Amino acid sequence: MHPYPHLYTASAAAGPSGSVAVTSPGLPEIATAPPPEFDGPGDVWSPEVLLCASLADCFILTFRALAKASKFEWAGLECRVDGVLEKAEGVTRFTQYTTYATLKVAPGERHRQGAHAVGARRALLPGVQLGEWNAVAGRGGRARGVKWPPACAVSEHSLR
């Protein structure tokens, strides 16, 4: 890893109508448009969906680094982030992000200790709630599920 601080640059350009071109040096261009909720086409990435995708991606990459440092072996991690956009106090903003993750480990691994050891909650960004954390082991459709953390409650968290 490079020493801090890190600088990330992205740009966007568009005309009066059509998609927005999002770019970053050395990366392919991404076409974006408003989501269907804002009368967008719904067939291209929207900024709202990209934000939720970034949170899910960050969760997995952070978990990967923590697992490597903890020497915790795992087979896969799936993550979904739901973001709630609403109008609060006259301002449209995201008021809640909820992360749902499923960790796949080899049969016989200690799910709860392993997931806890790598700090699943530490992989969350500030203000992001952990809605459900599952660890599964086994092969095919006969996987065994263990929920982590137990009795995890999802609550609203206002982000300002």
Cα 111 to Cα 99: distance, rounded to the nearest angstrom: 19
Give the residues of the chain that fall short of pLDDT 50. 117, 138-160
Q: Which pLDDT value is given to residue 38?
A: 96
Instruction: State the pLDDT at residue 147.
Output: 35
Cα-based torsion angle of the residue sequence 51, 55, 61, 67 in order, rounded to the nearest 10 degrees: 180
Give pTM, 2 decimals.
Answer: 0.75
Q: What is the pLDDT of residue 41?
A: 96
Alpha helices per DSSP H over the chain: 47-70, 111-117
Domain boundaries, the chain: 8-45, 46-160
CA quadruple 58, 95, 8, 27: dihedral sign: positive
CB 75 within 8 A of CB 106: yes
Contact at 8 Å (CB) between 110 and 94? no
Q: What are phi and psi of 119, to 5 degrees?
A: 70, 60
CA distance 119 to 134: 14
CATH number of 46-160: 3.30.300.20
Q: Which residues pair with 130 in a beta bridge?
A: 99
The single-letter code of the amino acid at 91 is V
Question: What's residue 105's pLDDT?
Answer: 80
Residue recorded with tokens 């804002």: 38
Return the percentage of the chain with pLDDT > 90, whole number.
Answer: 46
Measure CA of the first residue to CA of the last residue in the chain; give whole Å: 30
Q: State residue 17's pLDDT score.
A: 95
